Structure 1
Amino acid sequence: MAFLGLVSLLVLQSLTLGTTFTDETIAELSVNMYNHLRATGEDENILFSPLSVTLAMGMMELGAQGSTLKEIRHSMGYDSLKNGEEFSFLKHLSHMVTAEESQYVMKIANALFVQNGFHINDEFLQMIKKYFNAEVNHVDFGQNVAVANHINKWVENNTNKIGWILGPFITFLFFLGEFSDGSNEAGGIYQVLEIPYEGDEISMMLVLSRQEVPLATLEPLVKAQLIEEWANSVKKQKVEVYLPRFTVEQEIDLKHVLKALGITEVFIKNANLTALSDNKEIFLSKAIHKSFIEVNEEGSEATAASGMIAISRMAVLYPQVIVDHPFFFLIRNRRTGTILFMGRVMHPETMNTSGHDFEEL
């Protein structure tokens, strides 16, 4: 039996995207993943990066053929594209988010870890280098401690010394950014608060149900189209915001999530990964996704306020947005609409709160 380890690391300090392709696809994936995670963790925080998962699955897709390839493409929403067309997008996306001239910096590092003596097809090596600039490392998976140390050292070298213990197949994403002062609000049964990060290219969007309305009532309403409507409906308005400083860290077993989304063949012994290797016994045994986000305004330099308000038909404008009960959030590129993170915080009342009265929104 062959052993395969794949690592996709995305280290985000801040970022900008320059493509309009598959943003709707990533949004659909985001909502589908979120719905699965909320169904399996009733009172737990949620955090994941659909962008990270998309890039990681792109690498697995390069190694797949036959029904395994067809299943991955269908589940990722690529049916309307010509075979392989998505890889050009993923390459373009990687180039855009890592461009040195961008105001924000995003670093992407990809690696394939394989068992010593395990043969990988030359064409596959060329393709993962071309589209993902991925590294290939040979290790002895029989030496668990040595392998963990080797992979963790690689992680530290590619993530500014951020070290994590990694499983056989991991997408890892680290995000730490500073807010510029900004806010927004919506009426109806929920409020939408959008907080731009410095530079205004990306923002955090928080969706807060009214105090008497459980978040579980709001969550089924979240759809890709509704997220786009929120983004298009915001307008500037003066509002006072009380937002907790919070940190969410989560490790997700992607195997269960991807199976729920329809990706199953890659995890079974008759998976067709013959584009990766001539070894027909290879399959993906485990997939782990780790993500971390910290929301903390300390140290941020005050800038011109740029708050937004999304107003529903039954809107009642509030002078305050007080984030003291469970809320849904996402981080997105404001220009392209690409969702970078999605999640929820279930117990913000236990966290420190900061208040800001924005003078000009």
Structure 2
Amino acid sequence: LGIFLLLCLFPRRSRRSVPQTLPHNADFAFSLYKKLSTHPEAKGKNIFFSPLSISMALSMLALGAKGNTHSQIFSTLGYSTLTPDQVNEGYEHLFHMLGHSQEAMQLEAGSALAVHEGFKPVDKFLKDAQHFYEGEAFTVDYSKPEVAVQEINKYIAKKTKDMITDMVKTLDPQTVMMLINYIYFRGKLEDPFEVSLTHEFDFYVNENTKVTVDMMERTDQFDFYHMEELEKQISRDHFKNWEEKLFVTLFKISAFISLQETLQEMGMVEAFSGAADFSGLIFNSHFCILIFSQVLHQAVLKVNEEGTEADAALIVELRLLSGWLSEIMVLNRPFLVFILDSSTRSILFMGKVNNPTE
């Protein structure tokens, strides 16, 4: 048996004009996936993340970035040919398009700024974050890290329907602001699997390891692809003709990723250093240097006979560096998984399942 690709799409919705950022978001998604999948620590591990959540959060932070810091953020996200207005208006449009739940689908996305008590970001940054990225703001006392951790985790749990409950473990007392982005998706299959047909089956993680999983079964016609070759060349062009829906393995996976190193490798260097220029976000930027200290992302995917539930949250921690504080086809090998929005072609979630029991 070969190694196969698992593809999953949202229920179809009417197509409307799409934001200019979407092709660039797709390119960033695959660039990030290739970086994550080739990291030595990722070998044999599940990979799952929301590229749209990451793009949204970093684009929102770019509102306050200037100079080379801004250029590096835009370059990493693939926005070099776009103006800031095009990017911001694109996300305003995208939030509007995504914010419509239907009977068979629930989709929620949003952002927040957890700001340290007494720290006042530039008014224009706060207004633009709210206008373009639906970014609400609330205050947190980071000088009491344990209390701040509880408050932020409580906020994330509420927005992700308790699928992500304990994302933040510790906080630097020097933190002055944390950006939170979340995407929640729950969709029912148009043609659910029969629960009575679900049975235990062997899943081959690799040549030497197999695990027992609950396997869903359906008689139908499906396209499939050998993954090893596809994974090397995968890009947004591959999605043009992918219209099949197929879920086979019953599973739940969760992935936690620290993105600092990966984003720096992709070109976003200044934001993590003393050269960072966030003068559009903070007053007195000549005396107080604001830098990224952590970029953490967690995503959860749950698939059963009725449908799919997926959630993602991203946090960017900012602190002051100075100054102030019909044939039988069995998918029993590692596979790729995508959740797309058919109206915007947004890649909301993507990843690779090496072991569905982890």
Q: With structure 2 as the length reference, what TM-score do the two structures score?
A: 0.71
Post-superposition Cα deviations, 1:167-188, rounded to whole Å, max 9, x if no partner, equal 65554444443322389xxxxx
Partner of 2:61: 60
Which of 303, 323, 347 is equivalent to 1:339?
347
Amino acid at match of 1:248: I
Cα offset for 1:327?
1.0
The structure-2 alpha-carbon separation of the partners of 1:60 and 1:296, relative to structure 1 and needing over 3 Å to count, comes to same
Which of 191, 200, 210 is equivalent to 1:181?
191
Partner of 2:319: none
Aligned partners of 1:31 and 1:222 also within 8 Å: yes
Which of 272, 276, 281 is equivalent to 1:276?
281
Cα offset for 1:207?
5.7
Which whole-Å CA distance do the structure 1 matches of 2:279 and 2:223 have between them? 43
Which of 288, 302, 308 is equivalent to 2:296?
288
Q: With structure 1 as the length reference, what TM-score do the two structures score?
A: 0.71
Cα offset for 1:255?
1.4
Aligned partners of 1:172 and 1:289 also within 8 Å: no
Partner of 2:204: none
The structure-2 alpha-carbon separation of the partners of 1:143 and 1:245, relative to structure 1 and needing over 3 Å to count, comes to same
Q: Secondary structure at the match of 1:284?
A: strand
Partner of 1:354: none
Matches within 5 A, 1:186-265: 208-209=225-226, 215-228=227-240, 230-231=241-242, 243-265=248-270
The structure-2 alpha-carbon separation of the partners of 1:23 and 1:272, relative to structure 1 and needing over 3 Å to count, comes to same
Cα offset for 1:19?
4.3
Which whole-Å CA distance do the structure 2 matches of 1:338 and 1:206 have between them? 21
Q: Count residues in correspondence.
A: 288
Cα offset for 1:123?
1.1
Post-superposition Cα deviations, 1:10-59, rounded to whole Å, max 9, x if no partner, equal xxx98968542332212111111110111111111110111111111111
Which whole-Å CA distance do the structure 2 matches of 1:180 and 1:219 have between them? 28
Aligned partners of 2:254 and 2:299 also within 8 Å: yes
Amino acid at match of 1:336: T
Structure 2 unpaired stretches of 5+: 1-9, 172-177, 194-221, 309-325
Aligned partners of 2:57 and 2:179 also within 8 Å: no
Post-superposition Cα deviations, 1:306-352, rounded to whole Å, max 9, x if no partner, equal xxxxxxxxxxxx7233111111121112233221111111135x69x
The structure-2 alpha-carbon separation of the partners of 1:334 and 1:250, relative to structure 1 and needing over 3 Å to count, comes to same
Which whole-Å CA distance do the structure 2 matches of 1:176 and 1:101 have between them? 10
Q: Bigger shift: 63-72 or 98-107?
A: 98-107
RMSD of the TM alignment (CA)?
3.0
Structure 1 unpaired stretches of 5+: 1-12, 184-204, 210-214, 301-317, 352-361
Partner of 1:304: none
Q: Does 1:112 align with 2:113?
A: yes
Cα offset for 1:221?
2.2
Cα offset for 1:157?
3.8
Percent sequence identity over matched residues?
27
Aligned partners of 2:63 and 2:281 also within 8 Å: yes
Which whole-Å CA distance do the structure 2 matches of 1:116 and 1:14 have between them? 43
Partner of 2:99: 98
The structure-2 alpha-carbon separation of the partners of 1:227 and 1:65, relative to structure 1 and needing over 3 Å to count, comes to same
